[in-house]
Structure 1
Amino acid sequence: MSAFPWLVLTLACLGTFLYLFIIGFAPIFLLGGKKHVFFSVFLSPAVAVSVLAAWAIASHYLKIPWNRENLLALGAVFAVAIIARLIFEVVNEKRHKQNRHKVSQHTFADSSTDSKKVRGSSDIAIEGKAKSKSVWNTGPLENNNGEINAKVTALLLAIVGIGFGLLYFSQFERPDLFSQTYDAVFHLNQTQWFISRQDGSSFHTNILGTNQMKGFYPSAWHDVTSAIAMLFGLKVPLATNVVSWWVMGIVWPFSNAAFAYVIGSDKRTKLVSFVLVASYAFVAFPYLIAYWGVLYPTVLSYSLAPALLALIYTFAQTRRIRTALLALGGILLLFVGVALAQTATVFLVAVLSLPAFYMFIRHILCDIKFPRWLAAIFAFGLTVALVLGLDNLSMRIPTIKHLRTAFVGWDPPYESFGDSLWYTLMGVVPMLMWTQALIYSISVQILCLLGCVWLVKHRRGTIVVAYFTVIMMAATLFSITGPWREYLFGFWYTDNNRLVSAIPIAAVQTLSAGMLLVYEWFSKQIKIVGKSKLLFKYPELTVSIVALGLYMGSAPVTAVMHQLSMIYDLDEDPIVSEELVSKDEFELLNRLEREVPKQDTILGNPWYGTALAQPYSGRKVLFPHLADSNNPDAIYLARNLNRAKVDPKVCPLVRKYQAYYVLDFSGNVLWGGRDKEHRQMNYPGLNNLVPLDLATVVDQEGEARLLKLTVCQP
């Protein structure tokens, strides 16, 4: 670790933001995103994820190594493309100015004879503008009257990103700590494996199998994290923390801002300002999933979802072919990103897109002269038919059918649907000690309901439908059991936290609309009492900053962040904190890079944290996850290594994998002492190696030891 770890972290965060901004902004800008610059900026993080995930797969087939040099080249190409497009725009603008100047000189002599005609055409244009239909009817991007205030938005984007970074990293004793949870071990090792093999393809990964290149796992998270680790020379745990900040502090609010941009129309500046801070009002996301699991792919896919929904709603509303084609292209690109981040989230996005599908069909029918009431009936019927058709189709796909029919032992937290709906509407389902945060929760939910009023008033009812749809889904999940639970929610593995964390995808929009409604009401009251201006030049900025402080400093958020700090903390009481590694074991992990040859493999019981040797040292481990290995060779060594002198099968396997080192961690075990003996049963061959004269101690920190085999040498 560097002598200045927090400086390294800060520079890595800045570098990550700049590199991924270039990767994401370039495709949009090249395709004509200059008209709505901030909309393009808001979409850029989501596009960056999609580009990297798709490029990782393409690199595999093109046999281009997934390494630092090629990633730098990719960024350089995109940066040059942006610069070239900017130069083209400047030159083109100068040419247009010169042409306009020539035309004005040519027509000046005839201006007196044509003055009436010019005035007449001008009057017609003004009248036509005044009589134009509402922006909602003509499309979300066709109106520039609500263009973003650059100063307010840029400042808020910086405040939100820095604010969340301070909140998040303040929970860490040091920046290279890891989430000591079951899922984190897999994700850290998968990321390191992508770096080691120089291949990030989601279609060629199975680290638990004999053939590790055969299998599929949605790996957009690992693609981004491995790219950042290689680009800036970071160890995987530190890169993981940097990308965690980028996803929750940049991708999530930017995606919400893109959705609000589409919804906001002429209210964009204020609605976008409020949505940026509303992104951090709900405990369910991003805070809950930041420590529960820890579900990095879900965090990423949920953060991408609002950006994809923004493009879907744009496509459903627009009346311009060019806008529709660009939106459709963006939908396809972001669909790739969401599907490769967490495939199950595609189902969630599809459900939240149903109101947009209804609106799209209704608009088409109205355009071909259907009566409004008849168009609404037909659109509703087609939407229901679409749902039933997709339901039937999904049951014909073996993998999805298995997810929707296999029993999963998750229990609902409430006995009745009424209780579930009530607590869901109050927003207290995922909260720790929620009774102490009841006032905060109810206040936020009241703002959400007021936001629904604002949205309906401004003809954004489809967003309200999406909000109540996800509310009803969560309330149903929290109250049912049996086969219907798997059938309806098997896409999410039917666990409670994964679905409750989806509520903010829609709720952030309703909350920001509620904040806007209250803001507008107070603005009118201030004007009534004779004040023509508020205290500050940009009052929405002031309100947003205050709201951000209230949200991030609220009791439920504080409680969840404390829980997160315990997950990352290297405590001496493993029964209380349920940690994988102790401080001594952590120190030894950080020395392995110097002590184990690069080509060698490390053995160890992963339930004691030995699997972390791979992401901290870059050395291979034979057991990269706490789940049982599918590799029969690894299983055999785990059970028989200490019989190397009498079992002729052992040494050939040791030499095959060059597994000459063993980590002997016997202190902490994940989830405390529960089921400890059962976990040891799967690795009996790794015990008593020194007493049996099979290994010597190479390094030791406290009770944590690194052993080197004295048998089976090459």
Structure 2
Amino acid sequence: MSSWYAAWPALVAAAGVLVLPGLVVSLVAGLRGIPAIALAPPLSVTVISVSAVVAGLVGVPFGVLVVAVGTVVLAAALGGVLVAARAFGLRERQPITRSRGADAAGLAGAVVGGVCAAVAVMRGIGKPEVFPQTFDAVFHLNAVWHALQTGDASSLALGTVAAPGRSMGFYPAAWHDVTILVDQLSGAGVVVSASAVSVVIAGIVWPWGCVLLIRQAIGARPGVLVAGGVLSGAFAASPLMLLSYGTLWPNALATVLIPAVLACAVSVLRVPERGVQEPGPDGEPAVSDPGRLRAGVVGLALLPGVLLAHPNAILSAGLLVTVLAIVAGWQWVSAPRTSTARRLVVAAGAVGVVAVELWLVVWSPVFDTTRAISWPSGQTMAQAAGEWILSAPMRTPVPWLASLLVLVGLVAAWRRTSTRWLVVAHVAAGALFVLVAGSDGPVARALSGPWYDDPFRLAALVGVLAVPLAALGLESLVSGVTARLGALGRGRREWAVVGAAVALAVVSGGVYSGADSSVVATWYSSHDIVGPDEQALLERLPQLVPAGTTVAGNPWNGSVLAAPLGDRTMLYPHLQGSWGPDRTIVALHLSAAGSDREVCPAVRRLRLGYVLAGPVSFWKGDWRQARYGGLDVANTPGFEPVAHGGRLTLYRVTAC
């Protein structure tokens, strides 16, 4: 496969997998328009990831049929809850809507911004069969292949890929589950399926979520919705950076789900209650509300998918929702005639929520493993603050026009009671990023545990609120200029905003796409693990190694990718792991098979027949590479060379 045109089955499958299950659920739940469409991907993630867990527990192979059953179950559950609520007298307030093409305009903007983002991803990747040669990508590709072979794609089992002796091992598997379905439906292979999922995450899931958040938080006005959709593709840090750096595919998927969670929270909390009626620039109602009950029920249904995409996204969303709730509570208690008792209750609730979140972040045993990881800060706090202000964290390209609109949007949002929380939340997320990116002190370490003390994961949050703020900034700027000039009446100013957004799309399509693609290409352009010659050898393994035979190799020399590239079981499917006694014996002493009596019994138990030997080119000198010293079998009796490719040579084990 040499072009994205040839990858169309995988792209179509990825779009279908991430949209159709959730769309069925959202329609059954009574959602229509932008809410129904934009909430479809996060609901799909919940259906897919939870279905995989249930299938693993009952011993059913994961696949399309399992997801179909899960879709029916979740749709029936949500529908049943809403029917029961109505039966008990819980009815929705009549939603305030603003039609006349607002939803169509928002989706049109999302298409434009999504196409720009998708093109940037495709250009950055290059060819769909190219993969980022990074530490994490090795695990993710092997985990997808492993789940395809075993039929178990549960988040409760995926961690056993790097710990084969364990019966269970948690690892958030939502991204892997989606990629597995894409491969099953398209037959494109693990790598191409992963590339297709990245394109759809950036081109569909992210812009739709941004438009939904804008609709609920700012208003169902054509101008601001078009602007938001277009601007969703302007910020390289969200979500393009995580699709390449690391490579943090699960975290990227989790991050693009956060706008939908926030949109549901806005509808539930109604920030403030009177903000629903607050007029927009043209004097008409600004907010279109799908209903508090429905938004709450659907919002709860999103959370399992976010959790199983990546747990730290729950905390990221929790931070933003907490700010939203505190601002809403403050506005409520500051209203006239609010009793002292109610104010005390709200204050106590706010303190309690913050205390729980601090416990989760700083002390909860759930994140003990990630707290043990520390990355040294590479810049000062002042530099990090400047990057956040310019919406270009971690040295991503500065989207000058978009970042200026964010600054305008901050001012405009602060002036409106119903959008003031956007400012506070954006500043709060920025403060956390600045602290982690610019400091190695005890406070930074304590607060960064769930995010692996990695500023990149926090940097990806910039677009969650930068997109709505920039859209509001564009609307305010255009509306203000036209109002001062008296050039347009109120009814036509909004279409001036649409026109400005279209012009912005033309500019951003040419300016931002190239910069964004360079961000993706950063970690796709290397050949540190395997080069073309090594990859060619790995892809020939089905012709060289009988099915069912295991292959060993020092994973640091590139042999670790033999499973996703060559469809053969590898003894060490990651660069590090808890391998158990037999694998440890082989790793340390295989080259001494002729003299060490423990080696051959281990070889036979592991069904080991071949070895991929060769020098290491990835992270040379890493101390963990010494754990595989016994796999250097070059010029060793009992190992017959079979094929050669670049640094790697395939040997048949004859010593046992």
- Whether 2:376 is the aligned partner of 1:445: answer no
Q: 1:53 aligns with which of 37, 49, 61?
A: 49
Q: Deviations over 1:464-499 (max 9, x none)?
A: 211111122222223332321211221211122121
Q: Deviations over 1:599-646 (max 9, x none)?
A: 121111111211111112332111111124443322211111111111
Q: How far off is 1:448 after superposition?
A: 1.3
Q: How far off is 1:655 after superposition?
A: 1.8
Distance (Å, rounded) in 1 between the aligned partners of 2:199 and 2:164: 34
Distance (Å, rounded) in 1 between the aligned partners of 2:94 and 2:308: 28
Q: Residue 602 of structure 1 aligns to a residue in which SS?
A: strand
Distance (Å, rounded) in 1 between the aligned partners of 2:40 and 2:63: 23
Shift of the 72–55 alpha-carbon distance from structure 1 to 2, 3 Å rule, reads closer
Q: Residue 649 of structure 2 aligns to a residue in which SS?
A: strand
Distance (Å, rounded) in 2 between the aligned partners of 1:399 and 1:290: 25
Structure 2 matches for 1:265-284, cutoff 5 A?
A: 265-267=219-221, 269-284=222-237
Q: How far off is 1:174 after superposition?
A: 2.5
Distance (Å, rounded) in 2 between the aligned partners of 1:651 and 1:46: 49
Shift of the 551–381 alpha-carbon distance from structure 1 to 2, 3 Å rule, reads farther
Contact 2:592 2:599 (C-alpha < 8 Å) held by counterparts: yes
- Whether 2:10 is the aligned partner of 1:44: answer no
Q: 2:292 aligns with which of 308, 317, 324?
A: 324
- Identify the residue that residue 67 of structure 1 maps to in structure 2: 63
Contact 2:212 2:260 (C-alpha < 8 Å) held by counterparts: yes
- Whether 2:638 is the aligned partner of 1:638: answer no
- Identify the residue that residue 230 of structure 1 maps to in structure 2: 184
- Whether 2:626 is the aligned partner of 1:681: answer yes
Shift of the 542–615 alpha-carbon distance from structure 1 to 2, 3 Å rule, reads farther
- Identify the residue that residue 132 of structure 1 maps to in structure 2: none
- Whether 2:184 is the aligned partner of 1:252: answer no
Q: How far off is 1:395 after superposition?
A: 5.5
Distance (Å, rounded) in 1 between the aligned partners of 2:250 and 2:75: 31
- Identify the residue that residue 319 of structure 2 maps to in structure 1: 351
Structure 2 matches for 1:607-626, cutoff 5 A?
A: 607-626=556-575
Q: Residue 651 of structure 2 aligns to a residue in which SS?
A: strand
- Identify the residue that residue 259 of structure 2 maps to in structure 1: 306
Q: Deviations over 1:309-351 (max 9, x none)?
A: 1111211119799933322222222111111111112111111
Shift of the 374–430 alpha-carbon distance from structure 1 to 2, 3 Å rule, reads farther
Contact 2:560 2:572 (C-alpha < 8 Å) held by counterparts: yes
- Identify the residue that residue 25 of structure 1 maps to in structure 2: 23
Q: Residue 257 of structure 2 aligns to a residue in which SS?
A: helix
Shift of the 277–530 alpha-carbon distance from structure 1 to 2, 3 Å rule, reads closer
Structure 2 matches for 1:700-711, cutoff 5 A?
A: 700-711=644-655
Distance (Å, rounded) in 2 between the aligned partners of 1:623 and 1:264: 51
- Whether 2:428 is the aligned partner of 1:427: answer no
Unpaired stretches in structure 2, ≥5 consecutive residues: 80-90, 277-288
Q: Residue 546 of structure 1 aligns to a residue in which SS?
A: helix
- Whether 2:381 is the aligned partner of 1:411: answer no
Q: Residue 239 of structure 2 aligns to a residue in which SS?
A: helix
Q: How far off is 1:139 after superposition?
A: 10
Distance (Å, rounded) in 1 between the aligned partners of 2:363 and 2:545: 50
Q: 2:541 aligns with which of 571, 574, 592?
A: 592
Larger Rg belongs to: 1
- Identify the residue that residue 507 of structure 1 maps to in structure 2: 466
- Whether 2:480 is the aligned partner of 1:547: answer no
- Whether 2:247 is the aligned partner of 1:294: answer yes
Contact 1:395 1:401 (C-alpha < 8 Å) held by counterparts: no
Shift of the 429–583 alpha-carbon distance from structure 1 to 2, 3 Å rule, reads same
- Identify the residue that residue 608 of structure 2 maps to in structure 1: 659
Shift of the 386–530 alpha-carbon distance from structure 1 to 2, 3 Å rule, reads closer
Deviates more, 1:463-472 or 1:479-488: 479-488
Contact 2:17 2:181 (C-alpha < 8 Å) held by counterparts: no
- Identify the residue that residue 133 of structure 2 maps to in structure 1: 180
Q: TM-score, normalization: structure 2?
A: 0.86
Distance (Å, rounded) in 2 between the aligned partners of 1:526 and 1:383: 45
Shift of the 264–63 alpha-carbon distance from structure 1 to 2, 3 Å rule, reads same
Contact 1:607 1:669 (C-alpha < 8 Å) held by counterparts: yes
Q: Residue 395 of structure 2 aligns to a residue in which SS?
A: coil
Distance (Å, rounded) in 2 between the aligned partners of 1:463 and 1:150: 22
Structure 2 matches for 1:115-134, cutoff 5 A?
A: none
Distance (Å, rounded) in 2 between the aligned partners of 1:661 and 1:185: 20
Contact 2:241 2:519 (C-alpha < 8 Å) held by counterparts: no
Contact 1:141 1:262 (C-alpha < 8 Å) held by counterparts: no
Distance (Å, rounded) in 2 between the aligned partners of 1:465 and 1:532: 31
Q: Residue 98 of structure 2 aligns to a residue in which SS?
A: coil
Distance (Å, rounded) in 1 between the aligned partners of 2:522 and 2:368: 38
The one-letter amino acid of 1:450's match is V
Contact 1:567 1:579 (C-alpha < 8 Å) held by counterparts: no
Greater relative contact order (Cα 8 A, min sep 6): structure 1 or 2? 2
Q: 2:302 aligns with which of 334, 339, 342?
A: 334
- Identify the residue that residue 387 of structure 1 maps to in structure 2: 354
Q: 1:11 aligns with which of 1, 9, 12?
A: 9
Q: Residue 574 of structure 2 aligns to a residue in which SS?
A: coil
Distance (Å, rounded) in 2 between the aligned partners of 1:326 and 1:48: 17
Shift of the 72–460 alpha-carbon distance from structure 1 to 2, 3 Å rule, reads closer
Q: Deviations over 1:647-692 (max 9, x none)?
A: 22212222222121222343x6224xx426x455222211134x22
- Identify the residue that residue 454 of structure 1 maps to in structure 2: 412
Q: Deviations over 1:105-127 (max 9, x none)?
A: xxxxxxxxxxxxxxxxxxxxxxx
- Identify the residue that residue 95 of structure 1 maps to in structure 2: none
- Identify the residue that residue 564 of structure 1 maps to in structure 2: 520
Q: How far off is 1:403 after superposition?
A: 5.0
Distance (Å, rounded) in 2 between the aligned partners of 1:78 and 1:524: 52
Q: Deviations over 1:28-81 (max 9, x none)?
A: 111211xx3221101111111111001111112232211355456767x69999
Output the aligned Cα RMSD. 3.4
Distance (Å, rounded) in 1 between the aligned partners of 2:363 and 2:9: 49
- Identify the residue that residue 695 of structure 1 maps to in structure 2: 639
Contact 1:181 1:294 (C-alpha < 8 Å) held by counterparts: yes
Contact 1:412 1:481 (C-alpha < 8 Å) held by counterparts: no
Contact 1:302 1:502 (C-alpha < 8 Å) held by counterparts: yes
The one-letter amino acid of 1:657's match is L
Q: Residue 215 of structure 1 aligns to a residue in which SS?
A: coil
Shift of the 376–248 alpha-carbon distance from structure 1 to 2, 3 Å rule, reads farther
> Would you say how many aligned residue pairs link Structure 1 and Structure 2?
626
Contact 1:140 1:263 (C-alpha < 8 Å) held by counterparts: no
Contact 1:141 1:314 (C-alpha < 8 Å) held by counterparts: no
- Whether 2:381 is the aligned partner of 1:397: answer no
Distance (Å, rounded) in 2 between the aligned partners of 1:240 and 1:363: 45
Distance (Å, rounded) in 2 between the aligned partners of 1:367 and 1:533: 35
Q: TM-score, normalization: structure 1?
A: 0.80
- Identify the residue that residue 280 of structure 2 maps to in structure 1: none
Distance (Å, rounded) in 2 between the aligned partners of 1:594 and 1:301: 38
Structure 2 matches for 1:468-487, cutoff 5 A?
A: 468-487=427-446
Q: 1:315 aligns with which of 268, 287, 291?
A: 268
Distance (Å, rounded) in 1 between the aligned partners of 2:420 and 2:464: 16
Deviates more, 1:244-253 or 1:470-479: 470-479
Q: Residue 218 of structure 2 aligns to a residue in which SS?
A: helix
The one-letter amino acid of 2:645's match is E
Shift of the 395–541 alpha-carbon distance from structure 1 to 2, 3 Å rule, reads closer
Contact 1:141 1:265 (C-alpha < 8 Å) held by counterparts: no
